[in-house]
Structure 1
C-alpha cells in the first residue's frame, strides 16, 4: 500500500493534559465554531509534515512543548513524528505514541533539500513514490525539485480554499504560480513529472546575455586601441616589421637546430666515454683479482721453498 494515513495529532507539555485529535482513513474534516482552532489544527499538521517551519502564535500553545503526529507510512507500518513546538528538527519513532519512548528515534530535518534524504519531506515523498521528481514552475521551463511543502496544498486544505470559487487546481492562489500548480496537478493525475523538459532562457535573460557579450567585445576593442596608441603604424610598416621578424625567426631557428645537433653529438661522445670507462673499470677489477691470486701463489711458493731449505 502506497500513501500515508494520519492517525492522531497531539500536543503535550508539563503539568497539562494532552490535547489530541484522532484521524480516520480517507477524508478528515475538522469543523466547529469560529475561533476554536480549526485553522490552527491544519497549520499544526503542515508543521509536522515539514510544510511550514513555525506554528501560529496563540496563547493556548504556550503551555505545550511538544507535538506528536501519528501516521501510517504505506507498507512500512505505523510511526509517530515528534517535533518541539518551537520548531527545529523532527524525530520519527516506530509505533503510535504521545510521549518519549526509550529509543532515540530517527532524526529528520524539517527543511527539504535536493541532495539530502534525511528530511521529513523526502521520507513522505518516498512513501508516495514521488521522490526525486521535478516540476516546471514557469513558461521558460525553469524547474524545481518536488518538495512536500508544495504537495501539502492538495493534502491539507484550509477553510478559505474550500469556499473559494477558483479552480481547486490553483492551490497557490497566485497568478504567477499557475504554471507550477498546473504541472503539480498533472503529476498527481498522471504520475509524470517534468524532468525531461528543456529550460528556455527568458527574453530578459537573452537580452542581458547579448548585452554582456557586446560589453566584452567593447572592452577588447578598447584594450586593442590602448595597445596601438594614439598614432598606430600604417600597414606597410607593419608588413615590413613582420617580414623582418619572420626572417629573424628563421635565422634563430636554424641556429638553434645547429646547436641542438652539436649537443646531440656531444651527448653521444659522452655516452661512449662513459661506456669505455665502465669497461676499463671492469677490466681493472679483473686484473686486481688476478694479481691477488698470484700474490697468494707466490706466498705458497716461498713457504714451500723455505721448507725445502730447512730439510737440507
Structure 2
C-alpha cells in the first residue's frame, strides 16, 4: 500500500530526491503514436519549459531531468536555507508567480496597510506558502497539472493524463545522487533515440554540455562546484568536466553495448564515490530496476529507515553497487 508522501521525506537525511511521472493514457506524451498517427514531440518542450520555469519559483533546484516518450524524470534538491531566508514579502511574491493568492496577500504584496485583525490570517497564509515552496509534492503538482490541461485540450478530451501518484525516492549520499543523475540523463541513449549527450534533446545533460562549450553552467540547474564549497553555498561537489566526461564515456559504452575503458578523469569521480567501474555501468543501466525506494549505502539506508520508523529496508542487496 502506498505510503503518505510526508513519511518518505527526511531532510535530516538528504535534500535530494528522484521523482518520476508516467502518462496513463495510450497516447504518448511525445514522439510518434502508432495508434493515432500523430506526433507529440512538441509536448516535450512544454514539460522542459515548465520544469525550468518552476526553478525560478520554488526553493527547489533541479539537478537533472529527462523528458521521454511516456514519462519524465527529475532529480530535485530541496533548498531549505533559501526558503527560510526569504522575507514574508518575498514568499508572497514567489507564490504569486504561479497563483493569484488572496485579496489579503495581494494587498500585502502591493505594500498596502494590513488591518490588525487580519495580521494573524496573513501570517498563516505566508507560513503555508513558505512550506509549499519547498515541497516536492507541490513542485510536481505545478509541473504535471498544466501539462495535463494542455494535453487534454489538444486531444479534446477529459480525464487523467498522468498516473495518480508520481514516484519519489530519497538519494541518501553522493554516490546515490550522481548515479541517479547519470541514469536519468542517459535515458535517451539507453532508449536509442540519441547517440551522444549533445543530441539528447529535452535533458539537463544537453543543457550542461551546451553551456560547458561556452565555459558556463546553466543558470536554472543546480551547479557543479568542484571543491569550491567555501565560495558557493550550494551545489554538487564534483568537477563538471569530470562528470561530463564520465557520463559521456558511460553513454558510449551503453550505446555500443560493449565493454569500454573509463578515462583517468572519470575514474577520479568513481574513486571518490568508491564505486568500481563495473558497478557504475550496472547502475547507469539498471538504476530503476535495482532501487524502488531510498538509495544509499547500507548505513545511510539504516539511518533513514530509523528516522522515519520504517520497519523494512527494501532492496538492501542493491546497496553493494554503491561501494
Question: Smaller-chain TM-score range?
Answer: under 0.3
Normalising by structure 1, what TM-score?
0.24
- Structure showing greater relative contact order (alpha-carbon pairs closer than 8 Å, 6 or more residues apart): 2
Normalising by structure 2, what TM-score?
0.24
